[in-house]
Amino acid sequence: MTTAVLITGASSGIGRATAERLLRRPGFTVYATARRPETIEDLRTAGAQVLALDVTDESSMAAAVRAVEEQHGSVGVLINNAGYGEYGTIEEAELDAVRRQFETNVFGFSRMIQLVLPGMRAAGAGRIINIGSMGGRVTFPVGGYYHATKYAVEAITDALRFETAPFGIHASLIAPGLIRTGFGATAARSLAASGSAAGPYAELRAAADEQMAASYASPVLAAEPDTVASAVEHAATSGRPRARYTVTPAAKAIVQSRRFLGSGLFDAYLRLQFRK
């Protein structure tokens, strides 16, 4: 029997790259999911099972997990990938938009874990791979609420890893740096809509927008989605999966810089980066 892999948010970016990579690996049945399954019909053609799954909808999540369990007994690997970035300053961000972001990035993410764990415990095995971000270790201006969701992913994964180990279940965190997906464009749109052009944070938001565009265009700072998919594959297949995978050299350098510089020096670095 093959291992069932359930991937949330497989319509683009990291989720799609992960589905494509694992479809090439023997021993897996890949369940690719998206809110609109018609966007991933090409993955069906490539050999994936395609399901509708919206991580903000309880019945949708439960139905997807149930469909996998009916065929395989349990979800063998959950790849918790669905998420996005809602950007804006702490003062100006619309809290309804912030709540929607938490609903996807934290509560939907958590509910998927809750739904797959009973089957994994019964099977005595399973892997949960949570896609976080270097933004769960480092915080940049105008992204505070997004970073808060990724700090939550870090905390939940750390607790989960300890809680589920006695049942033969491994939990790993994938913490990518800048990855060339639709994430940057979504973040930029939300940032542009988050405040007035004449508002008190207008210069900061403009500087952040320029910084974001330059960073995602950089061949040194940004990487392709398959770089992350490779780390996910290791977490899914290794006999000793790591607790945490920080992906891209730039992400590793930034996380370590924040750790060693401390708040004062890191804030000074940010002032140089986010000024016009």
CATH number of the domain encompassing residue 88: 3.40.50.720
Task: Indicate the Cα dihedral angle 94, 100, 104, 105, nearest 10°.
Answer: 20
Least Cα distance to 250 among 258, 242, 260 occurs for: 258
Rounded Cα distance between 131 and 174, Å, is 5
Rounded Cα distance between 95 and 98, Å, is 5
Q: Which residue type occupies 207?
A: A
Residue ranges for the chain with pLDDT beneath 50 = none
- Predicted confidence at residue 276, as pLDDT, reads 59
Rounded Cα distance between 205 and 202, Å, is 5
- Whether 146 is catalytic: yes
Task: Please list, in sequence order, all residues whose beta carbon lies within 8 angstroms of the beta carbon of residue 160, skipping any fewer than 6 positions away.
Answer: 113, 128, 130, 171
Q: Decide: pTM greater than 0.85.
A: yes
Which tokens is 129 given?
A: 């791979």
- What residues make up the domain containing 140? 3-273
Catalytic entry in 31, 145, 146, 201: 146
Counting the structural domains of the chain, the total is 1
- Predicted confidence at residue 211, as pLDDT, reads 87
Total number of residues shown for the chain: 276
Least Cα distance to 71 among 101, 49, 104 occurs for: 49
Least Cα distance to 2 among 26, 27, 37 occurs for: 27
- Predicted confidence at residue 209, as pLDDT, reads 87
- 3-class DSSP state for residue 252? helix
Task: Please list, in sequence order, all residues whose beta carbon lies within 8 angstroms of the beta carbon of residue 182, skipping any fewer than 6 positions away.
Answer: 12, 13
Dump pLDDT digits (tens) for 194-221: 777 778 999 999 888 888 888 888 988 9
Instruction: Specify whether the CB–CB gap between 186 and 134 falls below 8 A.
Output: no
Instruction: Specify whether the CB–CB gap between 79 and 6 falls below 8 A.
Output: yes
Q: How many CA atoms lie within 13 A of 51 on its CB side?
A: 25
Task: Please list, in sequence order, all residues whose beta carbon lies within 8 angstroms of the beta carbon of residue 135, skipping any fewer than 6 positions away.
Answer: 143, 146, 147, 150
